[in-house]
Amino acid sequence: MVTLRRVDKKRFKELTYPHLEFLYNVALKYSGNKYDAEDLVQETMVTAYSKFQQLRDDKSCRAWLFTILRNHFLKERKQLLRRPYLDDGSSYLDYIRDEKSSGFVDRIVEKDANKKLHRVLAKISEKFKSPLILYYMEEMTYQEIAEYLDIPIGTVMSRLARGKRYLKKGLLQPSSRKINKGKIVQMMGLVMQL
Amino acid sequence: MDCATFSSWLENRDTYDLSEADRAMKHAVQCAKCKDLLQKDEELDRFVAKMFQYEMMDKRMYGKIDRSLGESGRKRGIKGGLAAAVAMVAVVALFFAFTPSPGSFSSMDEFGRYIVQEHQNHGRITPLFEKIDNVEGWGRDNLHKSFKVNTLPAGNLKIVGGRICTIKDCEFAHLLYQDGKEIYSLFVVSEGEIGFNLEPGRMYSLTVAGVELHVWQKQKMVYALTS
Protein backbone atom coordinates (compact mmCIF):
# COMPACT_ATOMS: atom_id res chain seq x y z
CA MET A 1 0.00 0.00 0.00
CA VAL A 2 2.80 2.37 0.94
CA THR A 3 4.71 1.45 -2.20
CA LEU A 4 1.67 2.06 -4.36
CA ARG A 5 1.19 5.56 -2.93
CA ARG A 6 4.86 6.39 -3.50
CA VAL A 7 4.64 5.28 -7.11
CA ASP A 8 1.46 7.28 -7.59
CA LYS A 9 3.04 10.42 -6.18
CA LYS A 10 6.02 10.05 -8.47
CA ARG A 11 3.78 9.62 -11.47
CA PHE A 12 1.59 12.48 -10.30
CA LYS A 13 4.57 14.79 -10.14
CA GLU A 14 5.87 13.66 -13.51
CA LEU A 15 2.55 14.40 -15.13
CA THR A 16 1.49 17.56 -13.35
CA TYR A 17 4.61 19.51 -12.48
CA PRO A 18 5.35 20.50 -16.09
CA HIS A 19 2.05 22.41 -16.00
CA LEU A 20 2.75 24.35 -12.82
CA GLU A 21 3.92 27.49 -14.63
CA PHE A 22 0.78 27.42 -16.72
CA LEU A 23 -1.42 26.95 -13.65
CA TYR A 24 0.36 29.71 -11.80
CA ASN A 25 -0.10 32.16 -14.64
CA VAL A 26 -3.77 31.31 -15.06
CA ALA A 27 -4.18 31.72 -11.32
CA LEU A 28 -2.39 35.03 -11.48
CA LYS A 29 -4.80 36.31 -14.09
CA TYR A 30 -7.75 35.01 -12.13
CA SER A 31 -6.72 36.31 -8.73
CA GLY A 32 -4.70 39.39 -9.62
CA ASN A 33 -1.87 38.87 -7.16
CA LYS A 34 0.90 36.34 -6.66
CA TYR A 35 -0.08 35.35 -3.12
CA ASP A 36 -3.62 34.36 -4.02
CA ALA A 37 -2.29 32.76 -7.20
CA GLU A 38 0.10 30.59 -5.20
CA ASP A 39 -2.68 29.57 -2.83
CA LEU A 40 -4.89 28.72 -5.76
CA VAL A 41 -2.21 26.58 -7.37
CA GLN A 42 -1.54 24.75 -4.12
CA GLU A 43 -5.23 24.05 -3.58
CA THR A 44 -5.46 22.87 -7.16
CA MET A 45 -2.54 20.50 -6.77
CA VAL A 46 -3.81 19.04 -3.50
CA THR A 47 -7.21 18.43 -5.06
CA ALA A 48 -5.62 16.97 -8.17
CA TYR A 49 -3.50 14.66 -6.03
CA SER A 50 -6.49 13.41 -4.10
CA LYS A 51 -8.42 12.80 -7.32
CA PHE A 52 -5.53 11.60 -9.41
CA GLN A 53 -7.20 8.28 -10.14
CA GLN A 54 -9.93 10.23 -11.98
CA LEU A 55 -7.48 11.33 -14.66
CA ARG A 56 -8.11 8.82 -17.42
CA ASP A 57 -5.94 10.20 -20.18
CA ASP A 58 -2.49 11.59 -19.45
CA LYS A 59 -2.74 13.84 -22.51
CA SER A 60 -5.63 15.73 -20.97
CA CYS A 61 -3.72 16.42 -17.76
CA ARG A 62 -3.26 20.12 -18.50
CA ALA A 63 -6.95 20.67 -19.23
CA TRP A 64 -7.88 18.59 -16.18
CA LEU A 65 -5.69 20.70 -13.93
CA PHE A 66 -7.07 23.87 -15.48
CA THR A 67 -10.61 22.72 -14.74
CA ILE A 68 -9.75 22.01 -11.11
CA LEU A 69 -8.11 25.40 -10.73
CA ARG A 70 -11.04 27.14 -12.38
CA ASN A 71 -13.50 25.35 -10.11
CA HIS A 72 -11.51 26.37 -7.05
CA PHE A 73 -11.47 29.95 -8.24
CA LEU A 74 -15.20 29.98 -8.95
CA LYS A 75 -15.98 28.41 -5.60
CA GLU A 76 -13.92 30.89 -3.64
CA ARG A 77 -14.85 33.98 -5.59
CA LYS A 78 -18.51 33.25 -6.04
CA GLN A 79 -19.67 36.42 -4.34
CA LEU A 80 -17.28 38.65 -6.23
CA LEU A 81 -18.53 37.24 -9.50
CA ARG A 82 -22.03 38.39 -8.70
CA ARG A 83 -20.84 41.99 -8.85
CA PRO A 84 -22.10 43.44 -12.14
CA TYR A 85 -19.73 44.91 -14.64
CA LEU A 86 -20.60 48.53 -15.26
CA ASP A 87 -20.13 49.96 -18.70
CA ASP A 88 -21.00 53.29 -20.22
CA GLY A 89 -21.92 51.68 -23.51
CA SER A 90 -19.24 53.47 -25.51
CA SER A 91 -16.73 51.78 -27.79
CA TYR A 92 -13.09 51.30 -26.86
CA LEU A 93 -12.27 52.44 -30.36
CA ASP A 94 -13.32 55.92 -29.27
CA TYR A 95 -10.22 56.08 -27.09
CA ILE A 96 -7.81 55.35 -29.88
CA ARG A 97 -9.51 56.95 -32.86
CA ASP A 98 -7.80 60.31 -32.46
CA GLU A 99 -4.46 59.07 -31.18
CA LYS A 100 -1.34 59.23 -33.28
CA SER A 101 -0.59 55.83 -34.72
CA SER A 102 2.78 54.72 -33.53
CA GLY A 103 3.36 53.94 -29.88
CA PHE A 104 -0.02 55.26 -28.81
CA VAL A 105 -0.55 52.39 -26.37
CA ASP A 106 2.38 53.43 -24.23
CA ARG A 107 1.07 56.93 -24.11
CA ILE A 108 -2.44 56.15 -22.96
CA VAL A 109 -2.04 53.01 -20.92
CA GLU A 110 -0.63 53.72 -17.51
CA LYS A 111 2.98 52.97 -16.72
CA ASP A 112 2.28 49.94 -14.58
CA ALA A 113 0.23 48.16 -17.18
CA ASN A 114 0.28 44.82 -15.40
CA LYS A 115 -1.40 46.22 -12.32
CA LYS A 116 -4.00 47.81 -14.53
CA LEU A 117 -4.49 44.54 -16.38
CA HIS A 118 -5.20 42.78 -13.08
CA ARG A 119 -7.55 45.54 -11.99
CA VAL A 120 -9.48 45.32 -15.22
CA LEU A 121 -9.52 41.51 -15.24
CA ALA A 122 -10.84 41.53 -11.69
CA LYS A 123 -13.95 43.31 -12.92
CA ILE A 124 -14.56 40.91 -15.75
CA SER A 125 -16.68 37.84 -15.23
CA GLU A 126 -14.94 34.48 -15.30
CA LYS A 127 -16.97 33.42 -18.32
CA PHE A 128 -15.20 36.11 -20.35
CA LYS A 129 -11.94 36.00 -18.47
CA SER A 130 -11.20 32.31 -19.07
CA PRO A 131 -11.44 32.53 -22.87
CA LEU A 132 -9.29 35.67 -22.76
CA ILE A 133 -6.58 33.95 -20.73
CA LEU A 134 -6.51 30.90 -22.98
CA TYR A 135 -6.55 33.05 -26.10
CA TYR A 136 -3.89 35.59 -25.21
CA MET A 137 -1.71 33.62 -22.87
CA GLU A 138 -1.87 30.18 -24.47
CA GLU A 139 -2.64 31.36 -28.01
CA MET A 140 -5.32 28.72 -28.27
CA THR A 141 -7.69 28.46 -31.17
CA TYR A 142 -11.44 28.80 -30.70
CA GLN A 143 -11.75 25.04 -30.96
CA GLU A 144 -9.13 24.42 -28.29
CA ILE A 145 -10.75 26.92 -25.96
CA ALA A 146 -14.11 25.29 -26.53
CA GLU A 147 -12.65 21.92 -25.55
CA TYR A 148 -10.92 23.31 -22.48
CA LEU A 149 -14.01 25.07 -21.21
CA ASP A 150 -16.42 22.46 -22.50
CA ILE A 151 -18.63 25.00 -24.24
CA PRO A 152 -19.70 25.35 -27.90
CA ILE A 153 -17.29 27.09 -30.25
CA GLY A 154 -19.89 29.77 -31.05
CA THR A 155 -20.08 30.62 -27.36
CA VAL A 156 -16.32 30.90 -27.24
CA MET A 157 -16.36 33.33 -30.17
CA SER A 158 -19.00 35.59 -28.67
CA ARG A 159 -17.49 35.50 -25.18
CA LEU A 160 -14.08 36.25 -26.57
CA ALA A 161 -15.41 39.21 -28.56
CA ARG A 162 -17.15 40.66 -25.52
CA GLY A 163 -14.23 39.88 -23.26
CA LYS A 164 -11.83 41.67 -25.58
CA ARG A 165 -14.10 44.70 -25.67
CA TYR A 166 -14.31 44.89 -21.88
CA LEU A 167 -10.60 44.32 -21.50
CA LYS A 168 -9.42 46.84 -24.08
CA LYS A 169 -11.83 49.44 -22.89
CA GLY A 170 -10.81 48.88 -19.29
CA LEU A 171 -7.17 49.30 -20.21
CA LEU A 172 -7.77 52.43 -22.24
CA GLN A 173 -10.08 54.11 -19.79
CA PRO A 174 -8.30 56.54 -17.53
CA SER A 175 -8.25 55.53 -13.90
CA SER A 176 -10.57 57.33 -11.46
CA ARG A 177 -7.62 59.43 -10.29
CA LYS A 178 -7.26 60.84 -13.80
CA ILE A 179 -10.97 61.39 -14.14
CA ASN A 180 -10.79 63.71 -11.16
CA LYS A 181 -8.10 65.68 -12.94
CA GLY A 182 -10.41 66.48 -15.78
CA LYS A 183 -10.82 63.56 -18.17
CA ILE A 184 -14.48 62.80 -18.35
CA VAL A 185 -15.91 59.35 -18.62
CA GLN A 186 -19.58 59.22 -17.86
CA MET A 187 -20.54 56.00 -16.22
CA MET A 188 -24.05 55.36 -17.35
CA GLY A 189 -24.39 52.50 -14.94
CA LEU A 190 -25.51 50.11 -17.60
CA VAL A 191 -25.23 46.54 -16.54
CA MET A 192 -23.53 44.97 -19.45
CA GLN A 193 -23.39 41.40 -18.39
CA LEU A 194 -23.80 38.78 -15.75
CA MET B 1 -18.88 48.09 -46.26
CA ASP B 2 -19.04 51.53 -44.67
CA CYS B 3 -16.96 52.92 -41.79
CA ALA B 4 -19.62 52.19 -39.14
CA THR B 5 -19.89 48.57 -40.25
CA PHE B 6 -16.13 48.36 -40.30
CA SER B 7 -15.92 49.60 -36.68
CA SER B 8 -18.55 47.08 -35.66
CA TRP B 9 -16.62 44.31 -37.38
CA LEU B 10 -13.40 45.43 -35.75
CA GLU B 11 -14.91 45.30 -32.29
CA ASN B 12 -16.54 41.93 -32.82
CA ARG B 13 -14.33 40.25 -35.34
CA ASP B 14 -14.22 37.00 -33.34
CA THR B 15 -17.86 36.47 -34.16
CA TYR B 16 -17.63 37.14 -37.88
CA ASP B 17 -16.65 34.67 -40.56
CA LEU B 18 -13.74 35.06 -42.95
CA SER B 19 -15.80 36.49 -45.81
CA GLU B 20 -16.68 39.45 -43.60
CA ALA B 21 -13.01 39.88 -42.78
CA ASP B 22 -12.22 40.03 -46.50
CA ARG B 23 -14.83 42.76 -46.98
CA ALA B 24 -13.43 44.68 -44.01
CA MET B 25 -9.90 44.49 -45.35
CA LYS B 26 -11.01 45.72 -48.73
CA HIS B 27 -12.68 48.69 -47.03
CA ALA B 28 -9.57 49.40 -44.95
CA VAL B 29 -7.47 49.54 -48.10
CA GLN B 30 -9.74 52.25 -49.47
CA CYS B 31 -10.36 54.13 -46.19
CA ALA B 32 -7.36 55.70 -44.46
CA LYS B 33 -9.22 56.33 -41.19
CA CYS B 34 -10.39 52.77 -40.90
CA LYS B 35 -6.97 51.45 -41.91
CA ASP B 36 -5.44 53.56 -39.15
CA LEU B 37 -8.03 52.26 -36.69
CA LEU B 38 -7.26 48.69 -37.72
CA GLN B 39 -3.53 49.22 -37.18
CA LYS B 40 -4.10 50.76 -33.77
CA ASP B 41 -6.38 47.93 -32.73
CA GLU B 42 -3.79 45.42 -33.84
CA GLU B 43 -1.15 47.28 -31.87
CA LEU B 44 -3.41 47.24 -28.84
CA ASP B 45 -4.00 43.54 -29.37
CA ARG B 46 -0.28 42.85 -29.42
CA PHE B 47 0.13 44.92 -26.29
CA VAL B 48 -2.56 42.93 -24.53
CA ALA B 49 -1.00 39.66 -25.64
CA LYS B 50 2.32 40.89 -24.26
CA MET B 51 0.72 41.62 -20.92
CA PHE B 52 -0.61 38.07 -20.83
CA GLN B 53 2.87 36.61 -21.21
CA TYR B 54 4.02 34.19 -18.55
CA GLU B 55 5.36 35.61 -15.34
CA MET B 56 8.02 33.67 -13.51
CA MET B 57 6.73 31.49 -10.74
CA ASP B 58 8.64 31.48 -7.47
CA LYS B 59 10.70 28.28 -7.61
CA ARG B 60 9.95 27.68 -3.95
CA MET B 61 6.44 26.80 -5.07
CA TYR B 62 7.65 23.33 -6.04
CA GLY B 63 8.77 22.74 -2.47
CA LYS B 64 5.55 24.18 -1.06
CA ILE B 65 3.48 21.93 -3.25
CA ASP B 66 5.64 18.95 -2.34
CA ARG B 67 4.96 19.63 1.31
CA SER B 68 1.24 20.16 0.64
CA LEU B 69 1.06 16.80 -1.07
CA GLY B 70 2.88 15.17 1.82
CA GLU B 71 0.52 16.75 4.34
CA SER B 72 -2.43 15.84 2.18
CA GLY B 73 -1.26 12.22 2.13
CA ARG B 74 -0.77 12.22 5.89
CA LYS B 75 -4.14 13.91 6.44
CA ARG B 76 -5.73 11.37 4.18
CA GLY B 77 -3.94 8.66 6.12
CA ILE B 78 -5.09 10.10 9.44
CA LYS B 79 -8.56 10.70 8.08
CA GLY B 80 -8.61 7.20 6.65
CA GLY B 81 -7.39 5.77 9.95
CA LEU B 82 -9.94 7.76 11.90
CA ALA B 83 -12.70 6.78 9.52
CA ALA B 84 -11.68 3.14 9.79
CA ALA B 85 -11.55 3.37 13.59
CA VAL B 86 -14.94 5.07 13.74
CA ALA B 87 -16.37 2.49 11.37
CA MET B 88 -14.90 -0.30 13.48
CA VAL B 89 -16.37 1.14 16.67
CA ALA B 90 -19.73 1.56 14.96
CA VAL B 91 -19.66 -2.03 13.73
CA VAL B 92 -18.77 -3.31 17.20
CA ALA B 93 -21.46 -1.11 18.77
CA LEU B 94 -24.02 -2.38 16.28
CA PHE B 95 -22.89 -5.92 16.87
CA PHE B 96 -23.46 -5.57 20.59
CA ALA B 97 -26.66 -3.64 20.11
CA PHE B 98 -28.26 -6.23 17.92
CA THR B 99 -26.65 -9.37 19.18
CA PRO B 100 -28.05 -10.64 22.46
CA SER B 101 -25.31 -10.95 25.00
CA PRO B 102 -24.75 -14.63 25.76
CA GLY B 103 -26.64 -15.95 28.71
CA SER B 104 -28.02 -12.63 29.62
CA PHE B 105 -31.64 -12.14 30.53
CA SER B 106 -32.56 -8.61 31.40
CA SER B 107 -35.06 -9.57 34.06
CA MET B 108 -37.02 -12.33 35.67
CA ASP B 109 -39.93 -11.53 33.36
CA GLU B 110 -37.83 -12.08 30.27
CA PHE B 111 -36.36 -15.22 31.72
CA GLY B 112 -39.89 -16.46 32.47
CA ARG B 113 -41.14 -15.72 28.97
CA TYR B 114 -38.32 -17.68 27.36
CA ILE B 115 -38.70 -20.62 29.74
CA VAL B 116 -42.46 -20.90 29.28
CA GLN B 117 -42.06 -20.61 25.51
CA GLU B 118 -39.55 -23.43 25.50
CA HIS B 119 -41.86 -25.51 27.68
CA GLN B 120 -44.77 -24.89 25.35
CA ASN B 121 -42.71 -25.81 22.32
CA HIS B 122 -40.98 -28.89 23.66
CA GLY B 123 -42.60 -29.81 26.99
CA ARG B 124 -44.04 -33.13 25.91
CA ILE B 125 -42.78 -36.66 25.71
CA THR B 126 -40.84 -37.00 22.50
CA PRO B 127 -37.74 -38.91 21.43
CA LEU B 128 -35.82 -35.70 22.05
CA PHE B 129 -35.75 -36.55 25.70
CA GLU B 130 -33.19 -38.99 26.84
CA LYS B 131 -34.15 -41.49 29.49
CA ILE B 132 -32.55 -40.61 32.78
CA ASP B 133 -31.83 -42.95 35.64
CA ASN B 134 -29.57 -40.72 37.62
CA VAL B 135 -30.29 -37.03 37.28
CA GLU B 136 -27.09 -35.94 39.00
CA GLY B 137 -24.91 -38.06 36.77
CA TRP B 138 -26.76 -37.07 33.65
CA GLY B 139 -26.43 -33.42 34.54
CA ARG B 140 -22.73 -33.74 35.14
CA ASP B 141 -22.26 -35.61 31.85
CA ASN B 142 -24.43 -33.37 29.71
CA LEU B 143 -24.54 -29.94 31.26
CA HIS B 144 -21.07 -30.31 32.73
CA LYS B 145 -22.46 -28.92 35.94
CA SER B 146 -23.29 -30.56 39.13
CA PHE B 147 -26.85 -30.11 40.36
CA LYS B 148 -29.21 -32.01 42.58
CA VAL B 149 -32.96 -32.27 42.35
CA ASN B 150 -33.90 -33.63 45.71
CA THR B 151 -37.17 -31.94 46.29
CA LEU B 152 -39.48 -30.13 43.90
CA PRO B 153 -42.20 -27.66 44.87
CA ALA B 154 -44.82 -29.67 43.00
CA GLY B 155 -46.19 -32.93 44.35
CA ASN B 156 -45.38 -36.39 43.18
CA LEU B 157 -43.28 -35.86 40.12
CA LYS B 158 -41.56 -38.66 38.26
CA ILE B 159 -38.73 -38.00 35.87
CA VAL B 160 -39.45 -38.86 32.22
CA GLY B 161 -36.31 -37.76 30.52
CA GLY B 162 -33.95 -34.93 29.81
CA ARG B 163 -32.33 -32.96 27.05
CA ILE B 164 -29.96 -30.11 26.73
CA CYS B 165 -31.39 -27.00 25.12
CA THR B 166 -30.11 -23.55 24.39
CA ILE B 167 -32.15 -20.50 25.28
CA LYS B 168 -30.65 -17.10 24.50
CA ASP B 169 -27.28 -18.77 24.14
CA CYS B 170 -27.49 -20.29 27.61
CA GLU B 171 -27.26 -24.01 27.98
CA PHE B 172 -30.12 -25.39 30.02
CA ALA B 173 -30.90 -28.86 31.19
CA HIS B 174 -34.53 -29.44 30.33
CA LEU B 175 -35.91 -32.20 32.51
CA LEU B 176 -39.37 -33.55 31.89
CA TYR B 177 -41.48 -34.74 34.79
CA GLN B 178 -44.84 -36.39 34.88
CA ASP B 179 -47.56 -36.45 37.50
CA GLY B 180 -50.42 -38.50 36.22
CA LYS B 181 -51.40 -36.90 32.97
CA GLU B 182 -49.68 -33.61 33.74
CA ILE B 183 -46.27 -32.90 32.24
CA TYR B 184 -43.89 -30.54 34.00
CA SER B 185 -40.70 -29.02 32.76
CA LEU B 186 -37.76 -28.30 35.01
CA PHE B 187 -35.06 -26.09 33.55
CA VAL B 188 -31.67 -25.94 35.20
CA VAL B 189 -28.99 -23.42 34.34
CA SER B 190 -25.82 -22.12 35.90
CA GLU B 191 -26.39 -19.02 38.01
CA GLY B 192 -23.68 -17.04 36.22
CA GLU B 193 -25.39 -17.35 32.85
CA ILE B 194 -28.75 -15.78 33.47
CA GLY B 195 -27.60 -12.20 33.93
CA PHE B 196 -29.65 -11.19 36.94
CA ASN B 197 -29.50 -12.02 40.61
CA LEU B 198 -31.77 -14.21 42.65
CA GLU B 199 -31.91 -14.35 46.39
CA PRO B 200 -30.63 -17.76 47.40
CA GLY B 201 -33.26 -19.99 48.92
CA ARG B 202 -36.14 -17.77 47.90
CA MET B 203 -38.92 -19.17 45.69
CA TYR B 204 -40.08 -16.84 42.95
CA SER B 205 -43.48 -17.56 41.39
CA LEU B 206 -44.84 -15.95 38.27
CA THR B 207 -47.46 -16.70 35.67
CA VAL B 208 -46.60 -16.37 32.02
CA ALA B 209 -49.18 -16.99 29.28
CA GLY B 210 -51.31 -18.98 31.69
CA VAL B 211 -48.40 -21.15 32.83
CA GLU B 212 -47.30 -20.96 36.43
CA LEU B 213 -43.56 -20.84 36.91
CA HIS B 214 -41.49 -21.28 40.02
CA VAL B 215 -37.91 -20.12 40.04
CA TRP B 216 -35.28 -20.56 42.71
CA GLN B 217 -31.58 -20.66 43.16
CA LYS B 218 -29.61 -23.28 44.96
CA GLN B 219 -25.87 -23.87 45.11
CA LYS B 220 -25.01 -21.66 42.14
CA MET B 221 -27.65 -23.22 39.95
CA VAL B 222 -30.99 -21.71 38.95
CA TYR B 223 -34.09 -23.90 38.67
CA ALA B 224 -37.33 -23.08 36.93
CA LEU B 225 -40.30 -25.40 37.16
CA THR B 226 -43.52 -25.05 35.21
CA SER B 227 -46.80 -26.20 36.68
* Shared domain check, A167 and A94: yes
Residue A130 sits at the vertex; the CA angle it makes with A120 and A159, to the nearest 5 degrees, is 85
List the 26-65 stretch of A: residues with Cβ below 8 A of B.
28-29, 34, 38, 41-42, 45-46, 49-50
Q: What is the mean pLDDT of chain A?
A: 79
Q: Do the beta carbons of residue A158 and residue B15 sit within 8 Å?
A: yes
Minimal C-alpha gap between B90 and chain A (Å): 25
* Shared domain check, A72 and A92: no
* Shared domain check, A92 and A70: no
% of chain B surpassing 90 pLDDT: 22
Pairing mode, if any, of strands B182-190 and B170-179?
antiparallel
Specify the pLDDT at position B115: 92
A93 to B37: CB separation less than 8 angstroms, yes or no: yes
CATH of the domain at A15: 1.10.1740.10
* pLDDT at residue A151 greater than cutoff 80: yes
> Region A132-142: what's the mean pLDDT?
95
Contact residues on chain A for B13, CB-CB shorter than 8 A? 161
* Shared domain check, A156 and A71: no
Contact residues on chain B for A108, CB-CB shorter than 8 A? none
Specify the pLDDT at position A184: 36
- Give the A:B interface size as CB pairs under 8 Å: 103
> Region A42-66: what's the mean pLDDT?
90
> Region B36-42: what's the mean pLDDT?
90
- In this structure, of A84-88, A144-148, A180-184, B200-204, the range with the lowest mean pLDDT score is A180-184
Closest partner residue to A45 (CB to CB) among B40, B43, B68 is B68
**Residue A59 burial class via C-beta count within 10 angstroms: exposed 0-12, middle 13-18, buried 19 and up:** exposed
Count of domains for chain A: 2
* Shared domain check, A162 and A105: yes
A117 to B51: CB separation less than 8 angstroms, yes or no: yes
* pLDDT at residue A76 greater than cutoff 90: no
Cα distance between residue A155 and residue A144, in whole Å: 13
* Shared domain check, A186 and A147: yes
Is there a domain that residue A104 lies in?
yes
Closest partner residue to A21 (CB to CB) among B12, B47, B54 is B54
Specify the pLDDT at position B78: 61
Q: Given A76, A105, A137, which residue is the final one in a domain?
A: A76
* pLDDT at residue B153 greater than cutoff 60: yes
More confident site: B13 or B154: B13
Specify the pLDDT at position A86: 55
Is there a domain that residue A93 lies in?
yes
Minimal C-alpha gap between B75 and chain A (Å): 11
* Shared domain check, A29 and A121: no
pLDDT tens for each residue of B167-211: 887 889 999 998 888 889 999 998 888 888 888 888 888 898 889
Is there a domain that residue A28 lies in?
yes
List, as one string, the DSSP characters of A85-123. Answer: PEE-S--THHHHTTS-STTHHHHHS-S-HHHHHHHHHHH
- Kindly give, in sequence order, each residue whose CB lies less than 8 Å from that of residue A164, ignoring residues fewer than 6 positions away: A132, B14, B48
Closest partner residue to B44 (CB to CB) among A9, A21, A168 is A168
Q: Given A54, A76, A98, which residue is the final one in a domain?
A: A76
Categorize the per-residue pLDDT at A6 as very low, low, confident or very high, splitting at 50, 70 and 90.
low
Is there a domain that residue A81 lies in?
no
Residue A165 sits at the vertex; the CA angle it makes with A159 and A167, to the nearest 5 degrees, is 95
B54 to A137: CB separation less than 8 angstroms, yes or no: yes
* Shared domain check, A39 and A61: yes
* pLDDT at residue A95 greater than cutoff 60: yes
CATH of the domain at A122: 1.10.10.10
Domain membership of residue A187 as a residue range = 86-191
Specify the pLDDT at position B73: 63
* pLDDT at residue B28 greater than cutoff 80: yes
> Region A14-21: what's the mean pLDDT?
93
Specify the pLDDT at position A89: 67
* Shared domain check, A158 and A125: yes
C-alpha separations of A135 from A109, A130, A160, B75, B197 in Å: 21, 8, 8, 38, 84
Q: Given A76, A111, A128, which residue is the final one in a domain?
A: A76
Cα distance between residue A194 and residue A177, in whole Å: 27
Categorize the per-residue pLDDT at A112 as very low, low, confident or very high, splitting at 50, 70 and 90.
confident
List the 70-109 stretch of A: residues with Cβ below 8 A of B.
91-93, 96-97, 99, 101, 104-105, 109
Is there a domain that residue A164 lies in?
yes
* Shared domain check, A71 and A38: yes
Is there a domain that residue A128 lies in?
yes
Pairing mode, if any, of strands B170-179 and B211-218?
unpaired
Sheet with B158-167, side-by-side order of all strands: B158-167, B170-179, B182-190, B221-226, B211-218, B204-208
Identity of the amino acid at B189: V
Categorize the per-residue pLDDT at B6 as very low, low, confident or very high, splitting at 50, 70 and 90.
very high
Domains of chain B: 3-51 (no CATH), 108-226 (3.30.200)
B68 to A164: CB separation less than 8 angstroms, yes or no: no
Specify the pLDDT at position B107: 87
Is there a domain that residue A14 lies in?
yes
* Shared domain check, A175 and A135: yes
DSSP H helices in B18-107:
18-30, 32-51, 60-98
* Shared domain check, A98 and A183: yes
Nearest to A127 by CA among A22, A30, A25: A30
Closest partner residue to A49 (CB to CB) among B13, B39, B72 is B72
Pairing mode, if any, of strands A86-87 and B204-208?
unpaired
Question: A62: part of which helix (H) or strand (E)?
Answer: helix A61-76
Cα distance between residue B129 and residue B127, in whole Å: 5
